[in-house]
Chains A and B, each alone.
Chain A
């Protein structure tokens, strides 16, 4: 389990498959993501993972999807922020969450949340900030 793993150091190169599933034009292999890119991909995956999507482990995931159907209010923003923090703290041991900012964004008919997650990869001094726009599509 990730939580029981020794905390990785910066000397370990993280490598994962690229979720775009694009292939290397020369070798024909699936593209790789390494280092910081792999971790960022993992953070985004975790934010988007719903409860009960992971077989036999309903506790894994953030219940963001349900929250997108709530009224857009500061309370919902707070709940989304808390869910993201919790899922990262529990299931991504490689990062230390610094801040999660969730804001309601309404442009025209499209309404959603601008989520900005700032985190620091353990043993890497520079903080990383990623922004995700969350909207319900049905």
Chain B
């Protein structure tokens, strides 16, 4: 046997290890049967290889679990995150906002009513399950008439759990208590410490998230820790950092065990038991349930923990804000933050935050205040003022023309349309509905073409819708910023409004009116096309520009007696029509065609009279800035908008196939809007 032939046992795999051992034995002469499965020597090789394999595997596993990057067990990742001061996010209970009206019976003289913490509501069924929602804070109202109105009551989904532990220093010197339920929303944990079974004085302890919440050795705080099996532990101060428990203290812990995201999107609730005997209750939903999120998974912990460590729980850069808002308040679909120095004109010392709610389009005033006071202020730099900006939606409306071959599919046209709609919504979910998103028509068309085998090709016309809720009966100027270059409408593709609204004309008569763009609403002269260069020009003729605008000027360049080129040196302004005539220069026959440009177009309001004639009400109701994408309505005062939600939509075509959004703007396709995706499905067999 060669002295240097040491088996190479670096592999992890059983077969590779066994091959190494076999190669090693090849160099000896004692036992030749190392390579036969039935040989006795082979049994020894198997044992050795298996043993080596297991040892290598465990060693590798131990090494992997020692580092955050390679840890696969949740307990290891959580432990590493703890070293970085990061507490993984717990499950988050979905929240809904409701108005509760409780009417007392006539004989009832209750004048003040309190709905305590954990007042239970039950939801309508979702997939066959009714979920329990509870209040997390007590709230008190006085009677009005016979009714107690609890408005904007926030309720959270989950089963309330109340546990009490008696502290015994001998058996629990670390003052640690295990909360064994799975699915605890840690933000709902409330800890009350009662002195003893005989002394019932109670103290509320607050959760300590970092050192700043612990002021002294008497601070009533508790700490939270994720232990094994995703269970949480609470523990108390040691008497130096935070107050310590004493023997016989009774710790009363209450919290919610939530079904997290399963209970999102519920919008009907009822009170489980009416606190007023003989009274009636009515629960109306203000905001459906949203925000339910599962416990943070291992990959997310591995991703977030180092970043949280870098940010040190302080919001300084834009990414700090986004990360910390997402971590502390995961109720938003998307968060965007930008500095005041980036806006026009700059606003120094202000940081703008825009958030998109998971449900609906509007952020409530309550959410805004909570966000500023409880989330952003505690972590932001003192001199920087946070300002919440409502998200501004650019709703995309698609007119799709799709050709398909009905012989290639078993689906009927209705099913094909549904598949296309699903493909579009899927595209929107992946690419849109968030800040700083991009809409590329080519990508969308590819998604449509790939959605069904029978689809031969597709084309799309894009419109952008701005929604406006105008103040009725008040002259108000509205500015809608699309931030996308807009198409200068011709007769067929004008900006338009829907639905109709009522507005008074100059004589005070109410008219059912609409808004539209003045067709080909042009302003200055861009260039002049030479339709006929003419002949015989000895000197350059004077170009006389006539039209309803002013200030345009152009001159010709003559080559061989013909007009070779026309240079526009002044574009002028306010032209809706213009003609150019060449005068003088001794030549004849030149025909020139001017083309107009416009930065600003004009909007007008109109109505139809009894003979269905279109009558313009206000020829200058507003302007449209084609380049910057800004639509302005001046002194707009409708009396009624003929829409239940009072929403007036202004719909306009963009001048580009790539739409982008920045700052507070969000590109979205509204899945609730039946007119958002219009499909013109053409069967090529019928076309032939």
Residues of chain A having any CB pair with chain B under 8 Å: 2, 5, 12-19, 32-33, 38, 41-43, 45-46, 49, 54-56, 60, 91-94
Contact = CB atoms under 8 A, between A and B. Distances in A.
Interface stretch (B39-47, B332-340, B353-361, B572-580): B39-47
Contact of B32 (A14, A43, A91): A14
B58 to A, nearest CB: 16
B35 interface: yes
Given A16-B41, A54-B46, A92 B36 contact: yes
Contacts of B49: 55
Nearest to B15: A56
B34 to A, nearest CB: 9
Nearest to A13: B32
B39 A38 contact: yes
B37 A38 contact: no
Contacts, number: 64
B669 to A, nearest CB: 52
A5 B34 CA distance: 12
Contacts of A54: 37, 46
Interface string B582-601: 00000000000000000000
10 contacts: A2-B35, A14-B33, A16-B41, A17-B44, A38-B39, A41-B39, A41-B40, A55-B49, A55-B53, A92-B38
A42 B36 contact: yes
B33 A42 contact: yes
B91 to A, nearest CB: 40
A69 B49 CA distance: 32
Most buried by A among B15, B32, B35, B38: B38
A45 B36 CA distance: 11
B50 interface: yes
A17 B41 contact: yes
Nearest to B54: A55
A2 B37 contact: yes
A32 B38 contact: no
B212 interface: no
Nearest to A54: B46
A56 B44 CA distance: 15
B37 A16 contact: no
B187 to A, nearest CB: 48
Contact of A17 (B38, B40, B53): B40
B46 A46 contact: no
A16 B46 contact: no
B149 to A, nearest CB: 71
Contacts of B30: 15, 32
Nearest to B34: A16
Contacts of A17: 31, 40-41, 44
A54 B46 CA distance: 7
B39 A45 contact: yes
Which 3 A-B residue pairs are closest in the complex by CB-CB distance?
A42-B38, A16-B33, A46-B38
A116 B680 CA distance: 80
B31 A32 contact: yes
A1 to B, nearest CB: 8
A13 B33 CA distance: 9
Contacts of A91: 36-38
A42 B39 contact: yes
A36 B38 CA distance: 14
B293 to A, nearest CB: 41
Contact of A38 (B15, B33, B43, B50): B33
A49 B33 contact: no
Given A15-B30, A17-B44, A32-B31, A94 B14 contact: no
A15 B31 contact: yes
A16 B43 CA distance: 11
A14 B41 CA distance: 12
Contact of B50 (A12, A14, A41, A55): A55
Given A55-B14, A55-B49, 7 more contacts: A16-B32, A17-B44, A33-B40, A41-B40, A45-B43, A49-B37, A91-B36
